[in-house]
Structure 1
């Protein structure tokens, strides 16, 4: 694919990403685009590191999930390192799985057994936050060139902004929904027990603390049952 065509398709992708209604939809469009736009890419996914382990998002194939789990179990690998930003590097690549075993000596041999030939991991980040790594996989060795890296960087830049925006929008929508549910629950308690707004909120808060249930879930219970048990 020539760069003019690539640029046109990236412009179309930007519009597609804005049109997605959910975070999952945004992420799936990103990984699908990785396979479509980056030459040599057979599969793609997004790897997040969490306190309790790793999380694979929007994998285009089971191969992605298997590789992520392998890296998480071993604690090493190019995508794992790209997501673990304490290393200071934002891009990792294994050019040929049949030729490289020094940097990730535990991961590479087992990854070959999964059928991997080469791969790249690029950090997804904005000015304010790091979001994980966008990962590109090929079953063939030596397919990811400098041109592939450039295309991957451009896609990752668009992806990071879209991912961050989609997540912020989802959090805002959740906050609005939670506030509405809590307000409705307070109104039910105020009407049923003839208490003040402050007292109704205190009842919800105390029930939440005593039963170790999130406040929004307590409010939802009140709305569904017409009161607290």
Structure 2
């Protein structure tokens, strides 16, 4: 390779390293799951120069759902895997770290999936697992209408994106769960205060009332508390006039 070629490749590598560093910082600054996922998708499209990108979240071992996508088409493609019971995502979530599909018209690993996806005009796909040392979050999926669009270099880049994204998403989901728990406790406390003032109850008695209404109406305690705080009525009670 010429000195010029080596220099250009070095400059490209340095530029990509800088972009990846910026991505890592930006991802960990995003406060919500939605914002984190959107940032991952924007960087992914740019990093591998593909037409579509999507992120799926996994529930349990097999059920997946589209968390976000750059085009409504991607949600339809995700549904195909659930309908036919096979596809790259299934393998990535079970025992693979990534899967590269060069051409859906020629791929024989998942014939039912490949045939359906090809009818949508998608020829290439790259699926990478989003995981941390503690759990699997889902998958990062990249698509293109051109066959043989992705190569091993794109696969390596996608792995780097996925590792940063998985950590950021796991953190964001944990943070959101934490804030939801804090909000729920605030709501329950407010609801207890309303019952204590209205019926001269102790904190424990007011909490017992909320729990009873939660069980009798098959509602989450948070929802019972929210109903009482917003409407001043408990579930099953006639609305005040």
**TM-score (ref. length: structure 1):** 0.92
Q: Which residue of 2 aligns with 1:192?
A: 198
**Aligned pairs for 1:12-161 within 5 A:** 12-39=22-49, 41-50=50-59, 53-83=63-93, 85=94, 88-100=95-107, 102-161=108-167
Q: Which runs of 5+ in 2 are unaligned?
A: 1-8
Does residue 220 of the first structure (1) align with residue 226 of the second (2)? yes
Q: Any idea what the Cα deviations from partners look like across 1:61-98, whole Å, max 9, x if unmatched?
A: 12211211111111111123213x2xx21111111223
Q: Which residue of 1 aligns with 2:5?
A: none
User: Are the aligned partners of 2:58 and 2:136 in contact in 1 as well (CA < 8 Å)?
Assistant: no
Q: Secondary structure at the match of 2:111?
A: coil
Q: Secondary structure at the match of 1:76?
A: coil
Q: Any idea what the Cα deviations from partners look like across 1:33-82, whole Å, max 9, x if unmatched?
A: 1101124x211111234469531111011221121111111111112321
**Distance (whole Å) between structure 2 residues aligned to residue 12 and residue 106 of structure 1:** 40
After TM superposition, give the deviation of residue 26 of structure 1 in Å.
Answer: 0.8
More off after superposition, 162-171 vs 66-75: 66-75
After TM superposition, give the deviation of residue 19 of structure 1 in Å.
Answer: 2.6
Q: Secondary structure at the match of 2:96?
A: coil
**Distance (whole Å) between structure 2 residues aligned to residue 184 and residue 214 of structure 1:** 16
**C-alpha root-mean-square deviation of aligned residues, in Å?**
1.6
User: Are the aligned partners of 1:82 and 1:132 in contact in 2 as well (CA < 8 Å)?
Assistant: no
**Distance (whole Å) between structure 1 residues aligned to residue 154 and residue 215 of structure 2:** 52
After TM superposition, give the deviation of residue 227 of structure 1 in Å.
Answer: 4.2
**Distance (whole Å) between structure 2 residues aligned to residue 80 and residue 172 of structure 1:** 30
Q: Which residue of 1 aligns with 2:180?
A: 174
Q: Secondary structure at the match of 1:71?
A: helix
Number of residues paired by the alignment? Answer: 224
**Distance (whole Å) between structure 1 residues aligned to residue 52 and residue 20 of structure 2:** 18
Q: Secondary structure at the match of 1:191?
A: helix
Q: Secondary structure at the match of 1:3?
A: helix
Asked which structure has the greater CA Rg, the reply is 2
**Displaced runs of 4 or more, over 6 A:** none
Q: Which residue of 2 aligns with 1:10?
A: 20
